[in-house]
Structure 1
Amino acid sequence: MPDKPVRVLIADDHPVFREGLAVLLSAIPGVEVVGTAADGTAAERATTELAPDVILMDVAMPGLNGVEATQRILATTPNLAVLMLTMSADNATLLAALRAGATGYLLKDAGPEEISRAIMAAANGEAIFGPAMARQVTNLFTHQAAAPPPPVFPQLTAREHEILVLIAKGLTNSQIARRLCLASKTIRNNVSHILTKLQVADRAEAIDVARRAGLA
């Protein structure tokens, strides 16, 4: 148990849940509920006035929602830990909360022991998620890592992209024609289409654009 109690602020727009949680947490050794807030704006104001160590933040609140409030609060108080405590288990909300800087993400059906452990872990600088959310976090970032990068110049056909790469490497039309076993006229036509689609004036400008995009 820490020498000083962990100072907790509860932000939730449902008064029954908010006050019930405050009573529950106040009974836990090592936890001090320093205040409550009914929306994101109030949470931001209370953070300045009460200096909590951890905020239990609902996501769906009127006005300034929990994700927006988290982002604003952490911009000025980066050492503070924010735990999202919400009914929402969808990936979009989870990812938005993580991008905003949330330390953890719990669902509102979490039990008192789980919430207490999460508060202590967050106060110690650890990232914490409920069991179901931990699996979602793993799956979310695994799928993101496995996803292919977005294509460069998606307006080009596969053949035009291939030719642009060779142009960026400094090959002439004749050299490209020999490399791809195509007629010179075909290469000229493709180069013309490439210049139009890239909205560049000439070959030199196309080379510059392609190289800046990493094609060479």
Structure 2
Amino acid sequence: MDPIRVFIADDHELVRYALRMLLEDESDIEVVGESPDGEGAVAAVGSEQVDLVLLDLRMPGIGGIEACRLIKEREPDVSVLVLTSFGDDDEVFGVLAAGAGGYILKDTRPELVVQAVRAMAEGQAVFDSKIAARVIAGQPDRGPDPDEELRSRFSDRELEVLQLMAEGMGNKQIAHALWISEATVKTHVSHILRKMGTPDRTQAALVAVRAGLVASPDGDAG
């Protein structure tokens, strides 16, 4: 299996060094480059084979939100995992709207950073628990009866897939759990995103939890 090719963008040299040492100690992860700013990350996804960008938010020049937007415009299949010291609501929602699939804080234990990289490579969404709670709470209501209005759009199977998406499962895991092919899962996910009106699976899952369509990852209903 090919290693997960990671690019690191952070304006602190010590942080970049620590992340490189942490990730390169793993046999299934390869650090293909690093940059002290967002411009370097954007350029890298256009010139190198990159699977995931580990992105700080506050950097000189192009900040993390704009860098994420440009990365996803240039290479939609590249995952963006935000690793930052900051968790302001404007930044959280801004980078999610730009297409980030994960958001963790720098006080996260090192082994959890490695787990997050692997999880995102499998197509899962990864959020620090404090960030996830705020994102779910901050999703706008969709009307007086959002549950029924949204629920009527989906088949029972699509709701099953949506529940597993909300639990952070990737396509392969969902296929195994539901005894269906991975190709069928991809089709269901595509239909869910279209019906939900969201650009990616992360935001679809968050809206679904907020609207009460599926249970939140901790087991509570919407």
Shorter-chain TM range is 0.5 to 0.7
Unmatched 5+ residue regions in structure 1?
149-216
Match of 1:145? 141
Segments of 4+ in structure 1 off by > 2 A? none
Q: How big is the shift at 1:51? A: 1.7
1:133 to 125, 131, 134: 131
Match of 2:213 in 1: none
Q: What is the deviation of 1:147? A: 8.3
- Cα distance in structure 1, aligned partners of 2:143 and 2:62: 32
**Displacement of 1:57:** 0.3
Question: In the TM superposition, what is the alpha-carbon distance from 1:86 to its structure 2 partner?
Answer: 0.6
Query: Which position in structure 1 is the counterpart of 2:92?
Result: 94
Distance across 2 between alignment mates of 1:34 and 1:140: 35
> For residue 82 of structure 1, what is the aligned residue in structure 2?
80
119, 122, 125: which one aligns with 1:124 = 122
- Map 1:154-165 onto structure 2 (within 5 A): none
Equivalent residue number for residue 37 of structure 2: 39
Report what 1:6 is aligned to. Answer: 4
Partners of 1:42 and 1:6 lie apart in 2 by 19
Cα distance in 1 between the residues matched to 2:105 and 2:2: 27
Looking at structure 1, the residues matched to 39 and 62 of structure 2 have their Cα atoms a distance apart, in angstroms, of 6
- 2:81–2:100 contact (8 Å) kept in structure 1: yes
Task: Show the counterpart of 1:192.
Answer: none
TM normalised by structure 2 equals 0.62
Equivalent of 1:70 in 68, 77, 86:
68
**Partner of 2:53: helix, strand, or coil?**
strand
Aligned counterparts of 2:142 and 2:109: Cα–Cα separation in 1: 34
Aligned residue identity for 1:49: S
Larger radius of gyration: 1
Following superposition, the deviation at residue 23 of structure 1 comes to 0.8
Closer, same or farther in 2 for the Cα pair 1:147/1:83, shift >3 Å? farther
Please give the root-mean-square deviation of Cα atoms over the aligned residues, in Å. 1.5
Which residue identity lines up with residue 145 of structure 1 in the other structure? D
Helix, strand or coil: the match of 1:110? coil
Q: Which residue of structure 1 aligns with residue 153 of structure 2?
A: none
1:64, 1:110 → 2: CA distance? 25
